[in-house]
Amino acid sequence: MGEVLALVEARLRTALGEPDARAAVTFLGTDRIEVLRFTDGDLVRYATLGMSAQPMTDPTAALADPVKGPRAELLLTVRAGLADTGKVLRPLAVLAASPQVEGVVVAPGASLDTGEPLWPGAPFTSVLVAESGGLVEDLELDAPMNPVRFLPLLPMTPNEAAWKRVHGAQALQERWLAAGTDLRDPLRRSVTLD
């Protein structure tokens, strides 16, 4: 477990530079989850560290495989200085702990809901999980372990989350693209929906 996390942190540092802050959260019955903050000009990136220590297990599986199974960490990028996004650390840690706590497999296209604003005054209580491989490349591990995928999170307003449940992740992403939505704006309004 420790070796995997050391490799994950090294990959994050290679891709994003040195973190300028980190916080750790431990939930009862779960492994410790850290959230690292990286500042890049007018952008702030938050990355979880700890979610990939164990493979995610399908909740319908009779036994959890301690080696095989999807592994991931979460990434969130927002514009700096527009909102108090530093308070997103705990909600991000909650999302990263969800595979251990709730037995969910976090994958692209999924919605994750915190039940509260991602940070004070945020118009978002949930996120859409996007495809990996962009900002931080997947990290290959020794067989038979699955690679660690670094999954970007795209904040969704409650209206967008409801619309996504009906129309799907792809349709929502197309709507954002067509409207020229700045998904890094921590104060943005909901995209126009039918």
Task: Report the side by side order of strands in the sheet with 33-40.
Answer: 21-25, 33-40, 43-49, 71-79, 148-156, 126-129, 111-113
Q: State the pLDDT at residue 62.
A: 65
* Mean pLDDT (whole number) for 167-177: 96
The share of the chain scoring above pLDDT 70, in percent, equals 95
Residue-wise pLDDT for 18-36, tens only, equals 999 999 888 777 788 999 9
CA angle 181, 131, 156 (to 5 degrees): 40
- Hey, how many other C-beta atoms are within 10 angstroms of the C-beta on 165? 11
Q: Would you say residue 165 has pLDDT above 70?
A: yes
Q: State the pLDDT at residue 103.
A: 83
* Mean pLDDT (whole number) for 154-171: 96
Say how far apart CA 31 and CA 4 lie, in whole Å: 14
Residue in the block written with tokens 């979880």: 48
Q: Nearest 5°: phi and psi at 44? A: -120, 130
Q: State the pLDDT at residue 173.
A: 96
User: Given CA atoms 112, 114, 119, 122 in this order, what sign does their dihedral have?
Assistant: positive
The share of the chain scoring above pLDDT 90, in percent, equals 70
For residue 130, what pLDDT band results from cuts at 50, 70 and 90?
Answer: very high
- Whole-model pTM: value is 0.93
Query: 136: exposed, middle or buried (C-beta count within 10 Å: 0-12, 13-18, 19+)?
Result: buried
Q: State the pLDDT at residue 1.
A: 60
* Mean pLDDT (whole number) for 84-99: 91
